[in-house]
Chain A
Amino acid sequence: MIPVVVVCVYLAIIAVIGSVAFRKGKQNTEDFFLANRTIGAMVFFLSIFATNMTAFAILGSSGQAYRQGIGIYGLMASSSGFVIPLTIFFIGTRLWAIGKRFGHQTQVSFFRDRWECSSIGTAIFALSVAMLVPYMIISIMGGGRVLSDISGGRVAYWLGCAVVALVVTMNVFFGGMRGTVWVNIFQTIMFLLFGAVAVAVISHALPGGFGEYISKIAANPKTRYLVTRDRMPERYFWSYTLIPLSSIMFPHMAIMCFAARKVTAFKRTVILYPIAIMAIWLPCIFLGVLGTQTVTGLKNPDGVLLHMLNQYAPVWLAGILGAGIISAVMGSDTHQVLAVSTMFTKDIFAFYGGKDKYGEKGSVYFARAFILVVTAVAYVVALVTPESIFELAVRFAFSGFAAMSPVMIAALFWKRSTKWGALASTLWVAGWLALTWYLQRLSDPMIPKPGQPPVQIFPQLGDLFQRTIANVTIHGFLPVVPMVFGSALLMIIVSLLTRPPSQATIDKYFSFDPANSQPRTEASGLESRGVRAQQQSATGSL
């Protein structure tokens, strides 16, 4: 019961931080959603990292390593350590700049303005929400499962989900972005320490040390694949390097980029990011492989670390480490809830007249009410729906967001890009998601056994569509490959065939020279309103 008490104390601390942030907050959307764009460098790093790390980084990584071995690190962790900082460096800094300059708080508001079209924003909004909401729901499920596991089943799954949903709601409802990032400081430190502490504790308790166990795994032909990449096809490994492109396209990550006080906050973040990923993933994957020798025959390998901690760590320490796992769950979940609320408030409620009618204060009330509703609905859905559906949806969401990255890159860096190009890419992504979902379901009865080769889904089409244990592949590549390259190609071709936005808009986003920028004056304000009025008249829809 001690671990549960430790975790409950931790959850209480989180709730208190949220309520303190509430007292510091102001009643406007920029403050509620972006902490008034005042997040400093170190907090920004800790917070954006917490935004992107989920329970998967600890539980899922070790579980996957238990099944597939050390290859998971290169597949998911080091590729993320390469791609994500690059996207934050090239895309995140530019998102920050357009947010700071033009007041955008969401990607959708930027797309609408950049391509002078409300409908393209709405289309991207719909796809983004459809891909983000399952992620939010599975975070609540993960939290409930962890609480239940840590307590040895004394806390029921439904109660665990309820506790996590309640704490996340309180944190976001009262604290908004400010409360969320304050909590993230605490959470990120907790789960960054988790790996090192877990390795130290377990190595101390294991007789013979790590080397003996790893040598034993390598010497046994039946387990050798765990310390090599024998069972990991190279095409699959390469395909996976495209998945981290999704990171910057997740709305909660993009919104975090808007919230930094200065662009220099990104410097430390992009350098430390790969190291922070290593600090979490390396110990978890190593312990997951080790777990195959110390905790044998697990039906659900995602629980391997919890089993090892229960076996080798003192009870109080297992509680603290459990809190580290819960931190990973809730760090991203709070940002997801906040992002969904931000998008509905800014991109739907405010955009379609709510802000004009009810003002800034009314928008914040709407956001808070929305947070209550969305977490309540997510909680109910988490209880009544099988987890496997959302696991699948989340996997697809990563491919989907990765395939939307060419849209963002074109919006930021290519003057000639058009709303029609963006629409074509969006439809391509949506179409592929539907196709992959269909193929996955169709091929469920033909899943090969571990160690067996992939199965052809349509024998008449040869190896075009194959089914592995977990995925559908296209000529051995993951669906993310045609999705990303097709999306980029469509963006280019359709943009070249259609009319670009007005010169005023292109100048607005590409010709602004900060060297000539002046402090805002009434005159410049009037001028910009004039430009905006011109743009409004030019605004079209699809």
Chain B
Amino acid sequence: MLRHNKSGMKPCRKCLLTVMVVAVYVLHQDFWNWKKAEPLVFGFLPVGLAYQAGYSILAAVMMAVLVKFDWPAHLETIEPEEHSGDKET
């Protein structure tokens, strides 16, 4: 149940998506903005804060890409087996 769908995702696509997630993670560590306050984006946002706000938008875009290309579609057809209660282990 927990594996990917039958056809499977192409390895190169999986690889690209993994690289994308790692790259987005690395971009969070914006050491180049550490000691900078200027320029003030839109005239009032310190650059470090504006960068991290932009990063939030990037994270949303990354999730949209994952939903588009790595969505676990096989889970959409799951049906209840039998609601067993929680003791039947």
Contact status B2-A510, CB under 8 Å: yes
Decide if B49 is an interface residue (CB 8 Å cutoff).
yes
The residues of A that contact B71 with a CB separation of less than 8 Å are 267
With A118-B89, A228-B48, A532-B88 known as contacts, the answer to whether A520 contacts B80 (CB < 8 A) is yes
Contact status A103-B31, CB under 8 Å: no
The residues of B that contact A117 with a CB separation of less than 8 Å are 89
Q: A56 CB to closest chain B CB, in angstroms?
A: 18
Decide if B1 is an interface residue (CB 8 Å cutoff).
yes
Find the residue from A78, A209, A229, A237 having the highest chain B CB count within 10 A. A78
Decide if B43 is an interface residue (CB 8 Å cutoff).
yes
Contact status A228-B74, CB under 8 Å: no
B37-50 CB mask vs A (1 if < 8 Å, else 0) is: 11010011110110
Contact status A78-B35, CB under 8 Å: no
Q: Among the listed B63, B76, B82, which residue makes an inter-chain contact with A103, where contact means beta carbons less than 8 Å apart?
A: B82
Contact status A227-B37, CB under 8 Å: yes
Bound CA span A50–B71, Å? 24
A interface, by DSSP: helix, strand, loop or mixed?
helix
Closest A residue by C-beta to B88: A532
Q: B34 CB to closest chain A CB, in angstroms?
A: 5
With A102-B81, A224-B37 known as contacts, the answer to whether A74 contacts B87 (CB < 8 A) is no
Q: In B21-39, which residues have CB < 8 Å from any A CB?
A: 21, 24-25, 28-31, 33-38
Q: B38 CB to closest chain A CB, in angstroms?
A: 7
Closest B residue by C-beta to A539: B89
Contact status A285-B49, CB under 8 Å: yes
Contact status B89-A116, CB under 8 Å: yes
Q: A125 CB to closest chain B CB, in angstroms?
A: 11
Decide if A383 is an interface residue (CB 8 Å cutoff).
no
The interface size of chain B toward A, counting residues with CB under 8 Å, comes to: 54
With A101-B78, A528-B81 known as contacts, the answer to whether A351 contacts B86 (CB < 8 A) is yes
Contact status B37-A228, CB under 8 Å: yes
Interface size class of A (residues with CB under 8 A): 35 or more
Find the residue from B37, B56, B66, B71 having the highest chain A CB count within 10 A. B56
Contact status B28-A515, CB under 8 Å: no
Contact status A413-B34, CB under 8 Å: no
Closest A residue by C-beta to B64: A271
The residues of B that contact A8 with a CB separation of less than 8 Å are none
Contact status A81-B56, CB under 8 Å: yes
A502-542 CB mask vs B (1 if < 8 Å, else 0) is: 00000001111111010110001100110010011001000
Contact status A106-B86, CB under 8 Å: yes
Contact status A274-B56, CB under 8 Å: yes
The residues of B that contact A81 with a CB separation of less than 8 Å are 55-56, 59-60
The residues of B that contact A525 with a CB separation of less than 8 Å are 82
A466-508 CB mask vs B (1 if < 8 Å, else 0) is: 0000000000000000000000000000000000000000000
Decide if B19 is an interface residue (CB 8 Å cutoff).
no
Contact status A286-B45, CB under 8 Å: yes
The residues of A that contact B55 with a CB separation of less than 8 Å are 74, 78, 81-82
Q: Among the listed A241, A511, A517, which residue makes an inter-chain contact with B77, where contact means beta carbons less than 8 Å apart?
A: A517
Contact status B52-A77, CB under 8 Å: yes
Q: A257 CB to closest chain B CB, in angstroms?
A: 12
A-B interface contact total, Cβ < 8 Å:
213
Q: B16 CB to closest chain A CB, in angstroms?
A: 16
Closest A residue by C-beta to B27: A82
The residues of B that contact A116 with a CB separation of less than 8 Å are 89
The residues of A that contact B21 with a CB separation of less than 8 Å are 86
Bound CA span A98–B1, Å? 8
Bound CA span A296–B77, Å? 58
Decide if A392 is an interface residue (CB 8 Å cutoff).
no
Q: Among the listed B1, B3, B31, B43, which residue makes an inter-chain contact with A234, where contact means beta carbons less than 8 Å apart?
A: B31
Bound CA span A121–B71, Å? 30
Closest A residue by C-beta to B83: A103
Contact status A528-B74, CB under 8 Å: no
Q: In A49-97, which residues have CB < 8 Å from any B CB?
A: 70-71, 73-74, 77-79, 81-82, 85-86, 89, 93-94, 96-97
Contact status A228-B34, CB under 8 Å: yes
With A103-B80, A355-B85, A519-B79 known as contacts, the answer to whether A230 contacts B2 (CB < 8 A) is no
The residues of B that contact A103 with a CB separation of less than 8 Å are 80-86
The segment from A173-181, A275-283, A309-317, A423-431 found at the interface with B is A275-283
The residues of A that contact B84 with a CB separation of less than 8 Å are 102-103, 528, 532
The residues of A that contact B77 with a CB separation of less than 8 Å are 514-515, 517
Q: Among the listed A71, A270, A412, which residue makes an inter-chain contact with B67, where contact means beta carbons less than 8 Å apart?
A: A270
Top 8 closest pairs, chain A to chain B, by CB = A103-B83, A210-B44, A109-B86, A512-B1, A274-B59, A278-B56, A227-B46, A514-B77
List 10 contacting pairs A-B, 8 Å CB cutoff, sorted by A: A74-B55, A103-B83, A109-B89, A282-B53, A347-B86, A509-B2, A510-B3, A514-B74, A520-B82, A528-B81
Residues on B lying within 8 angstroms of A by beta carbon are 1-3, 6, 21, 24-25, 28-31, 33-38, 40, 43-46, 48-49, 52-53, 55-57, 59-60, 62-64, 66-67, 71-72, 74-89
Residues on A lying within 8 angstroms of B by beta carbon are 30, 70-71, 73-74, 77-79, 81-82, 85-86, 89, 93-94, 96-98, 100-106, 109, 112-113, 116-118, 121, 209-211, 214-215, 217-218, 224, 227-230, 234, 237-238, 241, 262-264, 267, 270-275, 277-278, 282, 285-286, 346-347, 350-351, 355-356, 412-413, 509-515, 517, 519-520, 524-525, 528-529, 532, 535-536, 539
